[in-house]
Amino acid sequence: MALLSKKDANLIKDPLADNNPITIQVLGICSALAITAELKASVVMAISVLFVMGVGNVVISLIRNIIPSKIRIIVQLVVVAALVIIVDQVLKAFAYDLSKTLSVFIGLIITNCIIMGRFEAFALGNGPRRAFLDGIGNALGYGVILVIVGFFRELLGSGTLFGMKVLGDPIAKTGLYSIGYENNGFMIIPPAALIVVGIIIWVQRSRNRELIEEA
């Protein structure tokens, strides 16, 4: 991180752990949970949000002095929607199957609270360079949780990672399956994502006691 001053580096580091958008700020959960049954979808979603957040934060930060504050929500929505359309079209062109799996959840990046939240809280008050770093940091923090949840759900639920059978073949009974291991079908169904995120929050807060909420 020689290129960045300490203050700038913190913009990226903070959202990764102590100020994570999902587990601490409680933003952007809507689209985070439904698509995490497979690791591949999680990674693509994380990259899409990274792109939208990075570019969106810079755009908003560049035009922040000419946006009338009364209509800023609409302006922000238009910027995000335009970026999301680009992501959606690119996915449809180059990864059609994946864009079918993600279906409406790519569109729902528009209303992902992380993006609006960071526009409001950061990009409107800071220069483009810092806004870019903040966007990248928060998108990475979001992506980290997505990938962790996706990893556990795919590994425990289907015994695969990125579609590769890492635990052996359940039908031919090789690898772990030969000693009686079974896939946990529970991890595939949507509510399991909530429980995995709940456990991540639990682990994170027991390691860092300052984050515990008042009763």
Partner 1 sequence: MLEHLELFFRSIFVDNMVFAVFLGMCSYLAVSKKVSTAVGLGAAVIFVLGVTVPLNWLLDQYLLQEGALVWLGPEYADYDLSFLSFILFIATIATMVQLVEIVVEKFSPSLYNSLGIFLPLIAVNCAILGGSLFMQAREIPNIGLALNYGISSGIGWFLAILAIAAIREKIRYSKVPAPLRGLGITFIITGLMGIGFQSFGGMLTGDNEPPEQTQTTTAETQEEKEIKKEIEDKEKAISYNEAINK
Binding pattern for the stretch 110-139 against partner 1, x by CB under 8 A and - elsewhere: xxxx--x-----------------------
**The residue to which tokens 């695969």 are assigned:** 160
Q: Six-digit token pair at 132?
A: 């870019």
Contact 129, 135 (CB under 8 A): no
Report which of 157, 147, 175, 178 is spatially closest to residue 166, judged by C-alpha positions.
175
- Closest approach of partner 1 to the CB of residue 166, in Å: 25
Among 19, 107, 147, 161, binds partner 1 (CB under 8 A): 107
Among 30, 98, 148, 155, binds partner 1 (CB under 8 A): 30
Instruction: Find the binding residues for partner 1 in span 75-104 (CB under 8 A).
Output: 77-78, 81-82, 84-85, 88-89, 103-104
- Closest approach of partner 1 to the CB of residue 97, in Å: 16
- Closest approach of partner 1 to the CB of residue 111, in Å: 4
Among 5, 26, 90, 185, binds partner 1 (CB under 8 A): 26
Q: Six-digit token pair at 101?
A: 């799996």
Tell me, what DSSP letter sits at residue 67?
S
Q: What CA–CA distance (Å, rounded) separates 161 from 151? A: 7
Residue 182, interface with partner 1 (CB under 8 A)? Answer: no
Residue nearer to partner 1 on the CB measure, 162 or 186: 186
Among 93, 171, 191, 210, binds partner 1 (CB under 8 A): 191
Q: Six-digit token pair at 14?
A: 């903070």
CA 162 from centroid of its chain's CA atoms: 17
- Closest approach of partner 1 to the CB of residue 62, in Å: 20
Residue nearer to partner 1 on the CB measure, 103 or 174: 103
Contact 60, 135 (CB under 8 A): no
- Number of residues near partner 1 (by CB under 8 A): 51
Q: Could you tell me the end-to-end alpha-carbon distance of the chain, in angstroms, rounded to an integer?
A: 39
Q: What CA–CA distance (Å, rounded) separates 211 from 25? A: 11
* Side-chain half-sphere CA neighbours of 214 within 13 A: 0
- Give the footprint of partner 1 on this chain (CB under 8 A): 23, 26-34, 73-74, 77-78, 81-82, 84-85, 88-89, 103-104, 107-108, 110-113, 116, 189-195, 197-199, 201-206, 209, 211-215
